[in-house]
Amino acid sequence: MSSEASAVRGAEAGDDPIISVRDLHKWYSGVHALQGIDLDIQRGESLGLIGDNGAGKSTLINILSGVYPPSSGTIVFDGRPVRIRSPKEATRLGIETIYQYNSVVPSMSIARNLFISREPLRWSIGGFGLIDTKRMHAEATRALSDVGLHLRSPDAVVSELSGGQRQGVAIARAMHFKSKVLILDEPTNHLSVKETNKVISFVRGLKSQGVTGIFISHNIQHVMQSCDRVVAMARGKIVADCRVADVTMDELVSHL
Amino acid sequence: MKALFKRSLQNTEIPGLVLLVVLVVLFSVFSNGIFVSTENLRGILGLLPEIGIVAIGVAILMIAGEFDLSVGSTFGLVPMVMVVFMSHGWGFAPAFGVAMLIGIGIGLVNAFVTLRLGIPSFITTLGMLFMMRSLTVVISGGFPPQIPSDVPRWLFTDYFGPGNFLRASFVWLVIIAICASLMLSRSNFGNWIKASGGQVAAAAALGVPVMRVKTICFAGCALLAGFAGVIQSLRLNSVMSSTGDGMELQAVAASVIGGVSLVGGIGTVFSAIIGALLIRVIDNGLVLTRTDPNWFKFAVGALIVFAVVANSWLQRLGKSVRVAG
């Protein structure tokens, strides 16, 4: 399956896709939101996904992160055909998604946020157990410093952090759990310039850790600053797919 | 030091605790010390478990982001079911067991209607409040059946300990409070409850089984309400069709006064118990200080508003305290 998949787009660079999507369709109550998407995402690449509202970016991402099933089509992940039935299954495969607003729970501490649904346990019965707070605290401290996020204490409540720091916490979580693919949904929305630069540098840092990044944004400039390759979508189809080095912003805009 | 100051400002249990101390002092002074007499404390602690146990369930459900207004009716229906079965010749244990299962069932219906049919739990449980109250009246057949004399009261309401200071129900309160508190603050399930109530979309995206978590909270809340209803019925030696009337609002009040957030995600088991204790203290203190007892509801109302205002003010103040590093 994987050899067949890579044969289709064998001419392209990299040629070691971590995700291969073929002929993906999605209908929502009469709307044809994805109309036959073919896409290979190479291992370690950072891919920008741009397009207007309703272009199908979110639908594609929601399918990859297990929120909705596709209506038809195949997904090959890390060489194996997969059906991603739930967000939990996506994270188990190594696909972590950071949503625009919902990446963290503001009323909880940083440490607890990092380990939601993956708490280190002292003991457990049938999946329920006592949290190993000491280990959680120590691992949280390390996870934060690994992404260069220097915060007072992992016990601080997330509602006290700035928007950029919250994205940082979500990214630290993905890195800590050794995600293979990190999907960022509009991570720079509503952030100040300084914070935006921080997030962009996080995204650039993914590459050095061998993580594949998918960066969804309608800000083409941010995508071009942080990605190797950019895919543009419009009306449920891919309308452009090029390396950032080979394209100008105006050319990209003309596709949308 | 500053960090500690900041943390205690933002601790939502503080306003309730301070109020408790202030009221205890005031009532003691104005009742010439009768308020803190052994006999009076025995009375307060004897009644506390009933509202306390209900408040624990309501608080945990509120932290999970849902409401239960039907606890008062469950508090009446569950012991009524038990007594009706016993009047048909059932023993205590099977009648108690079936009644508890019905309590869980009420919680599951609340959960199903709210979560699967997508209705606010406020509405679902408001409807259930009326329906379960009506059922209580219907199955009682209009007048309350007697509770047989051979029920194991020692297990629920008899006094024990030095000077017969405590009721058995107080032990139940302590056991339930400790288990619930450990569950909420130290277990992974507690983490999921807080995440589900704090930001449901994030919790779901991170793989928390939100539906299951909330369903368990609904069922647990109704179970605790029914259990507390059984305790009260055994203490009073009767179930009336009005048993538990108004209990739902007292339980919500106790949680809110203790610092549980109405929008979910924030609160502790301890805070619900402080809130419940405050309500018992006011009820009792007003009588002892010979205040017109009709002021009871006024005092509880004022307390709710005061506690919430104080809490949000302290949160803001705490936020403005900058901690270096």
A65 and A136 within one domain: no
DSSP category for residue A248: -
Q: How far apart are CA B184 and CA A17, in angstroms?
A: 43
Which residue in the set A131, A152, A157 is minimally distant from B188, CB to CB? A131
Does the CB of A157 have a partner CB in chain B at under 8 Å? yes
The answer to whether B185 and B13 have CB atoms below 8 angstroms apart is no
A77 and A55 within one domain: yes
Among the candidates A157, A172, A187, a domain finishes at: A172
Number of domain units in chain A? 2
Which residue in the set B182, B191, B319 is minimally distant from A119, CB to CB? B191
Instruction: Using an 8 Å CB-CB cutoff, list chain B residues near A133.
Output: 186
A75 and A26 within one domain: yes
CATH number of domain containing A193 = 3.40.50.300
Q: Which amino acid is at A13?
A: A
The answer to whether B192 and B209 have CB atoms below 8 angstroms apart is yes
Number of domain units in chain B? 1
Does the CB of A133 have a partner CB in chain B at under 8 Å? yes
- Whether B6 is covered by a domain: the verdict is no
B1 confidence band (pLDDT: 50, 70, 90)? low
Q: Which of B4, B187, B188 to mutate to test the interface with A (most CBs of A within 10 A)?
A: B188
Choice among A231-245, B216-230, B307-321 with the minimum mean pLDDT = B307-321
Closest-CA distance of chain B to residue A246, Å: 35
A7 and A57 within one domain: yes
User: Higher pLDDT residue, A94 or A208?
Assistant: A94
DSSP category for residue B145: P
A159 and A188 within one domain: no
A27 and A138 within one domain: no
B323 confidence band (pLDDT: 50, 70, 90)? low
A162 and A84 within one domain: no
- Whether A100 is covered by a domain: the verdict is no
Does the CB of A116 have a partner CB in chain B at under 8 Å? yes
Instruction: Using an 8 Å CB-CB cutoff, list chain A residues near B9.
Output: none
CATH number of domain containing B104 = 1.10.3470
Q: How far apart are CA B140 and CA B148, in angstroms?
A: 15
B320 confidence band (pLDDT: 50, 70, 90)? confident
DSSP per residue, A93-111: HTEEEE-TTTSS-TTSBHH
DSSP category for residue B187: B
A168 and A196 within one domain: no
A183 and A167 within one domain: no
Mean pLDDT of chain A: 85
| Range(s) of the domain holding residue A58 | 2-94+179-255
Among the candidates A172, A196, A224, a domain finishes at: A172
What is the distance, to the nearest Å, from the Cα of residue A205 to the centroid of all Cα atoms in its chain? 14
Q: How far apart are CA B287 and CA B310, in angstroms?
A: 27
pLDDT of amino acid A10? 38
- Whether B2 is covered by a domain: the verdict is no
User: Any idea how long chain A is?
Assistant: 256
Instruction: Using an 8 Å CB-CB cutoff, list chain B residues near A68.
Output: none
B75 confidence band (pLDDT: 50, 70, 90)? very high
User: Higher pLDDT residue, B309 or B52?
Assistant: B52
Question: End-to-end distance of chain A based on CA atoms, in angstroms?
Answer: 32
Please report how many Cα atoms fall inside a 13 Å half-sphere around the Cα of residue A92, on the Cβ side: 11
pLDDT digits (tens, 9 = 90+) for A78-122: 989 999 988 888 988 999 888 877 789 999 999 999 999 999 999
Q: How far apart are CA B57 and CA A214, in angstroms?
A: 43
- Residue A115: CB partners within 8 Å, gap ≥ 6? A131, A136, A139, A140, B191
- Whether A148 is covered by a domain: the verdict is yes
pLDDT of amino acid B47? 94
pLDDT of amino acid B322? 64
- Whether A99 is covered by a domain: the verdict is no
What is the distance, to the nearest Å, from the Cα of residue A34 to the centroid of all Cα atoms in its chain? 19
Choice among A115-119, B138-142, B171-175, B235-239 with the minimum mean pLDDT = B138-142
- Interface of chain B toward chain A, CB-CB under 8 angstroms: 3, 10, 182, 186-189, 191-192, 194-195, 197-199, 201-208, 261, 265-266, 319, 323, 325
- Which residue in chain A is spatially nearest to B264 when comparing CA positions? A107
Q: How far apart are CA A200 and CA A211, in angstroms?
A: 15
Segment B212-230 mean pLDDT? 98
- Residue A158: CB partners within 8 Å, gap ≥ 6? A104, A105, A106, A107, A108, A109, A110, A113, A166, A169
Closest-CA distance of chain A to residue B207, Å: 4
Size of interface A-B (CB pairs under 8 A): 89
